[in-house]
Amino acid sequence: MLPMALYIAGAPLTEVTVCPSIAFVLQHSDSGEQLLFYLGITRNIDALPPVVKDVIAKYMPVHIPQDVAESLQKGELKPEDVEMVILSHLHFDHIGDHSPFTKATFVIGGEVKDQLENGYPKTPTSDVLSSAKCTSGF
């Protein structure tokens, strides 16, 4: 749930909307390689940096009926069959839980390397976890 005031000038803070956190499965047409774009939101909100937990508590409560790994399994795709995970950036609603994707290569742009190296807990005010899996692809 997000307050519309974040996006619409003059909207009351009490007006909220549901915003899904999505992921996309792509299959290479020739090789059959399974790619995943985004990992959604982790169920382990307590593991997020304090600044992110504060924003969630104040502005955007989250409800995660199933995480990306569970969604894939419902579609008969095992997380360990995903060969590549692509993340465009490190916002909490896109990096999810990387732990089920044990065989995947993670690809992310080099501009986030500093964010990871100086993320939380090294930098207490960072909104990025330095323990994020995104250590390849720089």
Tally of domains in the chain: 1
When the pLDDT of each residue in the chain is averaged and rounded to a whole number, the result is: 89
Tell me what pLDDT residue 129 has.
87
The 3-state DSSP class for residue 107 equals strand
Q: Is residue 71 part of a domain?
A: yes
Tell me what pLDDT residue 138 has.
42
Tell me what pLDDT residue 97 has.
92
Return the CATH number at 85.
3.60.15.10
Report whether pLDDT(115) > 60: yes
Q: Enter the pTM of the model.
A: 0.82
Q: Average pLDDT of 90-111?
A: 90
- Rounded-to-10 torsion of CA 44, 53, 89, 43: 20
Domain span at residue 55 reads: 21-117
Tell me what pLDDT residue 136 has.
47
